[in-house]
Structure 1
Amino acid sequence: MTPNWIQDAIFYQIFPDRFCNSGSSLNPRDTVPWNSAPQGHTFTGGDLKGIQSKLQHIANLGCTAIYLNPIFKAGTNHRYDTEDYFLIDPALGTLQDFKDLLDAAHQLNLKVILDGVFNHCSTLFAPFQDLLQHGEESRYRHWFTPYSFPLTHTPYANYATFGNHGSMPRLNTSEKDVQDYFIQVTLYWLSLGVNGWRMDVAFEADFLLWQRLREAVKSQYPEAYLVAEEWRDPFSYLQGDTFDGVMHYTLKDLWFGLAVHDGINAQAFVQAVQTLRNRLPAAHEKAMLTLLGSHDTPRVLTEARDREQTVKLLYTLLMTFPGAPMVYYGDEVGLNGGHDPACRKGMVWQEEHWNRSLYQHIASLIQLRKTQPELRQGTLEFLHADDRVVWYRRTENGQSTYVLINCTHMERDITLPFDAPDQTLMESLTGCSFSVRNGKLHLRSLAPRTSLVFTEVKSETPANPVLV
């Protein structure tokens, strides 16, 4: 079973080195100024105390859970080259700093999940160092895949690696001792109060690792959330024996194809979404981690070619679709940036530099999602799809919310079908009222790139003047 809390969760992703620097005492040597252009090899000094100091920002936005990129001892700013899975990176703080962060987050009703990099490690990881020292006689010989001895990485590594990076040896996750080790790692951090794990490049690791890990985790921590990184078909990870959900990049691509790239029309979009949903077991759809961007993609504002209205439209999709939506740090205030490392710039904390309109749109959608159960738990039904327009309904316990996604690039009139002859609808973000007449909702001179979210106005509820 998936955790009960996940169906109501709204995540906020943090790349620790770039979120908030609490001071200079922990800064690695040669730390660059906070507003420096992001580089793959530089540190800007973000740390755990800095994250703790900004938890109220996350809570004020309306998020209910945090996904932290790796925090364990490593040699890079991204920390996907783990040196010690039981040690907080000293540049981020201490174990007590992490416990304090957990406590402070939980006091604000924020869950915290960690990033598990179990497919590969650093060359400074103790078992790999043992292999370097003892070669074929190493007790960790079978933890890795050496091609020959002695080991070398010049010009290419003569051992299996992640992404052909000699600095990141690939672990042999089919080996029982390796699986046992990472199960121990996972349970240790859960015992401290962590609420779940996101597993890095889960598709490269042995499937049995995830099956054994899930069994161990769920037997002790049934409410722990387990989510996989997966960029393609998520089906194999959603059979109830490995993960609760996956990062839903496949759905992201469909949203962007419709709203950003003009790659598919409304009918093709709906057909593709329905095909995808039909492959998702119903028990797992609410636990899919839905997103518009992450540390591995260009910023949503950049990918939308700096068109704010398109970003707002995408966030309407994100917050009104099934799944557990995630905001990548800084997207809510209008950070931009292309592919890594540009998508990992320092968070802007000077509010005068925020895009307040975008922030308010996202915060309002989050609040709407939290107050309307059907947006979190309800069914999804497409009512109309034509050209660049999609019209759908979320329903739970007889309560419905209707969503219009208008990807047209010019002002136009739109007529939408409605399953009641006469009705009054309120647009949830503006409070304006619209009238349904003879089973049709007529929207005149609708602005381009518009998204509207409607709820039904009950007869006893006074409405604003009707707009038609």
Structure 2
Amino acid sequence: MIVQTPDWVKHAVFYQIFPDRFAQAAIPRKKLLSSDRWEQWDLPPSLQGYKGGNLWGVIEQLDYLQDLGINAIYFTPIFQSASNHRYHTHDYYQIDPILGGNPAFEEMLKAAHQRNIKVVLDGVFNHASRGFFQFHDILENGPHSPWLDWFKIEGWPLSAYDGSKPANYVGWAGIRALPQFNHDNPQVREFIMEIAEYWVDFGIDGWRLDVPFEVKTPGFWKEFRERVKAINPEAYIVGEVWGDSREWLDGTQFDGVMNYLFAGPTIAFTAGDRVKMELVEGPSYFPYPPLFAKEYGEKIQALLELYPWEIQLTQLNLLDS
């Protein structure tokens, strides 16, 4: 088959924004949630605290971003959540009120597009949160909940918060705060597809998919691509897959992946023995041991031979995330 990927991505320079820590609005906004509980901006962040960064602040920094030479932004999750990183989604149709809600996002998207800056959102579709309406209904109503088959429940009573007991439902990486969807349920599948369609129709330029390799349901990502591309053929679909990604890069699913097979060798070559081992031994992209030019060239050549050239042009090449 002929592999087709979005032309704009082939010339894109991305800037990743973690909204809570990027910028606060200097100009007061009516619909901006304020608090005297924000952590002090210049101090190191804590695990659960909020700095209070928001999308109005991003709008005020768009000229700065443009001056850097970027023409695309990838946002880590921005949907309503009860965590500063927002991988614990409560509502996929609402931008987090701390970030300024849907009005701030609409204004930001418009302002970005006026500068020819594309906007890609983080799609956390493998799991939700304990605050997600359907899961919360199960917490309240137990086996009587109509949403029971949306998740993978293994016992009663549901142990959602008691850390002294093992979790009795499937959570991502065993984390009970992140109940994993049952993607084999047609209702769940349709729910996620409609979210993807809604925001592409709203005007976003693509999806970065969180841990998509966790979704085992046959044909899921093929349908995702078909439905997204039916709205915008130039929408970018990029998966967070750390290793050999040929399974997803056959032209029927993703346009690219977060290219850690580029990141690891490049760090090992450029940083050499200056890499801090305690920071990289856990993640699986192996920016060590140090590489010299010959070995680096061999690894990059092998990577270039792994995927079709049309895919190589739309990989999300990164050094850090």
TM-score in terms of structure 2 length: 0.88
Q: Does 1:254 align with 2:261?
A: no
> Which residue does 1:190 correspond to in 2?
200
Q: Which amino acid aligns with 1:230?
A: V
Higher strand share: 1
Contact 1:9–1:63 (CA under 8 A) maintained in structure 2: yes
1:3 match: secondary structure: coil
Contact 1:17–1:77 (CA under 8 A) maintained in structure 2: yes
1:117 pairs with 99, 117, 124, which one?
124
For residues 234 and 320 of structure 2, the distance between their equivalents in structure 1, rounded to whole angstroms, comes to 26
Give the structure, 1 or 2, with the largest relative contact order (CA under 8 Å, sep 6 or more).
2
> Which residue does 1:386 correspond to in 2?
none
> Which residue does 1:159 correspond to in 2?
169
1:13 match: secondary structure: strand
> Which residue does 1:307 correspond to in 2?
none
2:131 match: secondary structure: coil
Q: Does 1:276 align with 2:278?
A: no
2:16 pairs with 1, 13, 18, which one?
13
Q: Alignment RMSD, CA only?
A: 1.4
Q: Which amino acid aligns with 2:34?
A: N
1:84 match: secondary structure: strand
The 1:28/1:189 distance shift into structure 2, 3 A limit, reads farther
How many positions carry a matched residue from both structures?
294
Contact 1:74–1:83 (CA under 8 A) maintained in structure 2: yes
Percentage of matched positions with identical amino acids? 39
Contact 2:127–2:171 (CA under 8 A) maintained in structure 1: yes
For residues 288 and 141 of structure 1, the distance between their equivalents in structure 2, rounded to whole angstroms, comes to 38
For residues 35 and 305 of structure 2, the distance between their equivalents in structure 1, rounded to whole angstroms, comes to 49
Deviation at 1:27, TM superposition (A): 3.3
Q: Does 1:136 align with 2:143?
A: yes
> Which residue does 2:47 correspond to in 1?
40
Q: Does 1:286 align with 2:313?
A: yes
CA-to-aligned-CA distance 1:205-251 (integer Å, 9 cap, x gap): 23532111101111221010000011111211100111000000111
Contact 1:113–1:195 (CA under 8 A) maintained in structure 2: yes
Contact 2:39–2:45 (CA under 8 A) maintained in structure 1: no
Contact 2:24–2:53 (CA under 8 A) maintained in structure 1: yes
For residues 266 and 28 of structure 1, the distance between their equivalents in structure 2, rounded to whole angstroms, comes to 52
For residues 82 and 248 of structure 1, the distance between their equivalents in structure 2, rounded to whole angstroms, comes to 25
CA-to-aligned-CA distance 1:224-282 (integer Å, 9 cap, x gap): 00000111112111001110000001110011121213522222211121112211121
The 1:162/1:127 distance shift into structure 2, 3 A limit, reads same
Contact 2:200–2:231 (CA under 8 A) maintained in structure 1: no
2:180 pairs with 170, 187, 201, which one?
170
Q: Does 1:244 align with 2:271?
A: no
Q: Which of the two has higher C-alpha Rg?
A: 1
Q: How does 1:45-56 map to 2 (within 5 A)?
A: 45-56=52-63
For residues 137 and 273 of structure 1, the distance between their equivalents in structure 2, rounded to whole angstroms, comes to 55
Q: How does 1:409-448 map to 2 (within 5 A)?
A: none
Deviation at 1:162, TM superposition (A): 1.4
2:272 match: secondary structure: coil
Structure 1 stretches of 4+ with a deviation exceeding 3 A read: none
The 1:219/1:107 distance shift into structure 2, 3 A limit, reads same
Contact 1:28–1:91 (CA under 8 A) maintained in structure 2: no
Q: Runs of 5+ in structure 2 lacking a partner? A: 274-289
Q: Does 1:227 align with 2:238?
A: yes
Contact 1:231–1:249 (CA under 8 A) maintained in structure 2: yes
Contact 1:84–1:125 (CA under 8 A) maintained in structure 2: yes
Deviation at 1:28, TM superposition (A): 4.7
For residues 48 and 209 of structure 1, the distance between their equivalents in structure 2, rounded to whole angstroms, comes to 31
Contact 2:95–2:101 (CA under 8 A) maintained in structure 1: yes
Q: Which amino acid aligns with 2:169?
A: Y
